[in-house]
Structure 1
Amino acid sequence: MDESSTTYAVLAAFLIVAVLFALVPLALARLWARRFAPPKPGPVKNSIYECGLESRGDAWKPFRSSYYIYAIVFLVFDVEIVFLLPFAVAFGGLTAGGVLAMMLFLALLVEGLLWAWSKGVLRWA
């Protein structure tokens, strides 16, 4: 066998071990549950349980999607701001191209912020 087929054989072995590592405990747990914990359905066992209280009313309540948009915008800008730390640390050793690339990054960041502001995404109420 040549080197590439040996490499693929090792990768295949790792794939098989990884799949078995996930499936064998699940299969053993299922067999254990069937043998030692047979299902015992009943009105108490099949009832809805949440924090020990019986649920009242409809669980489907409308939720404003603007909260999700606000959170996504926060995460995007939060993650992008993290990229400014390496720029600040290496600012003295950057070439003109590096500074220009970072200025372009900042311009796109500010453009996205202005777009979100103009669309009213940053308004909480």
Structure 2
Amino acid sequence: MFISSAFAQTAPAAAASGGMTSTLTSMLPLVLMFVVLYFLMIRPQMKRQKEHRSMIDALAKGDEIVSSGGLVGRVAGLNEQFVQLELAEGVVVQLQRSAVVQVLPKGTLK
């Protein structure tokens, strides 16, 4: 036989005493990687989504905005899902609210 009977008899006792510790030690890097991933990627992304949602909810007629496509104009009208954006006098386009990227300070457009 390849394993002596003395070694085979002590193996389960050794595994039982150090088995739980070695399992926790081997899982520690995985847990640490998840914690780091959460604080570096997931949490900031959730914060940005919350800020964007509050910005979109606070839109009002007359606000000057920038869309994700690069269109810049004044909000001419609002409804639940869409924004009417006045690009120039008499030129109004309709955008989804989620396409609004930034609200500019008043007086930016002339």
TM-score in terms of structure 1 length: 0.30
- Determine which structure has the larger strand proportion and give its number: 2
- Determine which structure has the larger helix proportion and give its number: 1
Larger gyration radius, structure 1 or structure 2: 2
